[in-house]
Structure 1
Amino acid sequence: MENYQQNHESEASVSEEIAIEEVETVGFTEKDAMAVQEAQEAAVLKEDKELVEMRLNELKVAVSTMTENEVKNKSNQLRNVLDRDEKALKTIFRELKLHRTDGDDLKKKRDELNAKVRELSKVAQESRTKRDEVNRKISELKGVRTTEMSDSKAKSEEINQLKARRDECNKISQSTFETLSKAYRAELKTFLENDINLEHERNVFEKLQNLSTRLAAAKEANELHRRMQDFYQSNKGMYQKSDELSTEIKQLSEESQKYHLEMIEMFRKVDELRKEADGYHKRLTERYTMIKPISAKIDPLKKSIAITRRELDIYLERAKDFQAEKDEKRVDKIHDSAKEKLKQNGRLSLEDLGALIEKGDIKFK
């Protein structure tokens, strides 16, 4: 009886240790572990419950006809099987725990890198947005500058036309308007006031005609020159505005380039971190692939352990019956001896006294 209890306690402690390792709950008691173990075994055998019950009932009938040695030998065999399977299960759990620890480290590193990727991607996107906004302003300013330059070009062409016409007028006038005016007035005075002969009058009249033509050309040249000056003044402001636009465009281009380089650098770092994160993810996937066949061994082992334990319980119960029969015979033998001693007023041992009390020969009020 004592041996049975020791063996049963030893088997229970192994089961509890496995249950504790599997659930990994801090502060888990042995009672809790056993409850979990029983619940898990019941869940494992749920699908095959009827077949298992039938098998166990058949085993109970077979065991009832076995001898004590046969029961003892079979119990030892099942203990060995149970010990082997429980050790295998514990080994699997330890191996999975190591893999899980490594996997958690890989997952942590991967997730940290992915978080950095998201953070840097956001920064890169912000730089891209700023760059695009600056480029939009540059495009607008270039449009304004193009319009200004187009207007300036048109005015420059008009100035060139005025200059060409002025130069033609200057060729005709061959002098300034003031000089020609003075000469014209002098010749006109001679023509109108002086008493000159016909030939001289004819020459003066021809001079007046020539001076009149040259004077008109000089007047037109002056007007053209004035218009040219107006255009120059007008275009001067346009040139200045165009230069200001070019300066602003250059500054914005430098700013755009700065944002562009920031964006490129961020995306370069993102690519590096993403590759590193993908490396950890690949290793994590490989780890899961490695764990899968190991995990696949758990349920068959659990089922084998659960069935073996129930079979062993049947043999142990039968062993208890054998022990009880032995104890009963032993008590009967002691009782017979004690009765003889009692009749002869012999000395009774505590064991003799216990047997007499148990059989009712001695009663206490």
Structure 2
Amino acid sequence: MNERELKRRVNDLRHEIEKREKDIRHLYHEIDIYKKEVDELRLKRDQIKESIKIYLEEARLFLNKRDELNKEVAELKKKRKKLGDKIRKLSEEIRNKKIKRDELNKDARGTKEILMESYEEKLKRILEDEIPLRDEIRIFNKIFEIRERLRIVEKADDMHEKISRDYEKIQKLNKNFDNLCKKIRSIAEKSQESHERAMRIYHEVDLLRRKSREYHKKLIEKYGLMNPLRDRVTLIKSEITEIRKKLEPLNKELKRIRHEREAKRRERDATKARENLQKRGRVSIDDLRVLLERGEISFE
């Protein structure tokens, strides 16, 4: 296919995707309607469960104790989450710093000792040896390059020290995190014990539970209506995925055509620059850039 045919095919496929995405939005709208009904049924069911507690006077103390313990667990979990978030954030910072440090080390292309040795050797050569001006300029440029690499090494060393300090912080945080987990487990076990004792009393309550099961049954029925819609959404999403797979090679081909056209343009620019250089003995800034990019001229 030529470029025009490719573009037409790409647009057709994108239209297919948009059409299916519109279908998905419509399905989600229907699902949301069912979800509202489900929430109402769930609320009624849960209200009955709360009513059961009223009739289970013997279980009240156990439930209160369980709830208090669960609140304590929830508060501890909040603290643990904050601590976990802090640990993850610090871990991410360490990872980013390590990446930055490694990039700096890569840019430096050598250790501080090696670079200093090279720097001093070239500086000594500049100061003490009689060398041609061209070599002196080249060595002088190399010295500046090494100085810049030394600055990069110093940055990498500073980054490594920061990473080490962060590791010490994260070890302390991990210790606090483990202590919180142990405390949560201990309280959760006590809560579970109170819950199980209350459940043995709940077994005697039948009428309200029967009503609760009726609401639960209706919930299942509503889910039965929602699931086919969700399956349809999944199917359409898979269709979109397949269409995107068809799009990918077409987009690549379009990109190849554009790159090929750009390559021809660059070749024309280079030919023109060479002709200008041959005819005039000098080139414009744009022509110079073209020839430098192609490696056809060098300042060395």
Compute the TM-score of the two structures, normalised by the length of structure 1.
0.38
* Bigger CA radius of gyration: 1
Higher RCO (C-alpha under 8 Å, 6+ residues apart) = 2
Compute the TM-score of the two structures, normalised by the length of structure 2.
0.46
